[in-house]
Amino acid sequence: MKKRNGTEVFRITGARMGLAEDVRGRQRRYVISMSIRTLSVILTVILWDVERHVAVVTLIAGALLPYVAVVIANAGRENTPSLPSNFMPSPVRPALEAGNLKKSSDQS
C-alpha cells in the first residue's frame, strides 16, 4: 500500500511492480548490505589489537558481503503472484419436489 498525493492506493491485481520500483528496492538492499560491510571493516580495524578472534570474523564478513550484496541486488524481478481464478461456479438452483410438480399440474 502506497500513498500518492495523500491518497491510499491498493494493489488489487496480480501484476508485477513497476520497473522503477523494483530497481529502487534492489538499490536499497545493496546500500544496506554495503553499509553493513563498511561497519564490519571498521570494526576489524578497531578490534584487531583488542579481540583478535572477533576481528577475524568481522574481516571475513567484510570480505564476503560484497559478493552477497551483488547477488542479492541482481536477484532479478519478483515472481508474478498467482493470478486470481476467473472460474465462477454456476449458481445452484433448488430442485422442485415431486409433490410440487403434481400440484401445479392439477391446478391447470
Q: Find all residues with CB under 8 Å of 36, minimum gap 6, and list them.
A: 61, 65
Q: What is the pLDDT of residue 56?
A: 92
- Asked whether residue 8 is assigned to any structural domain, the reply reads no
Structurally, the chain folds into a number of domains equal to 1
- Strand pairing partners for 45? none
Q: Is 53 within a domain?
A: yes
In a domain, 25, yes or no: no
Q: Got the DSSP string for 74-100?
A: TS-SPPPPPPPP---PPPP-PPPPHHH
Compute the half-sphere exposure of residue 44: CA atoms within 13 Å on the CB side of its CA.
14
- Model confidence over 50-105: pLDDT tens digits? 999 999 999 999 899 888 888 877 776 655 555 555 556 667 777 767 665 555 55
Residue 65 inside a domain? The answer is yes
**29 inside domain:** no
Confirm whether 20 is domain-assigned. no
The pLDDT of residue 44:
92
Residue span of the structural domain in which 66 resides: 41-77
Q: Label residue 6 left, alpha or beta by phi (over 0 means left) and psi (-120 to 50 means alpha).
A: left
Q: Is residue 57 part of a domain?
A: yes
Identity of residue 26: R
Calculate mean pLDDT across residues 16-32: 82
pLDDT at 34 over 60: yes
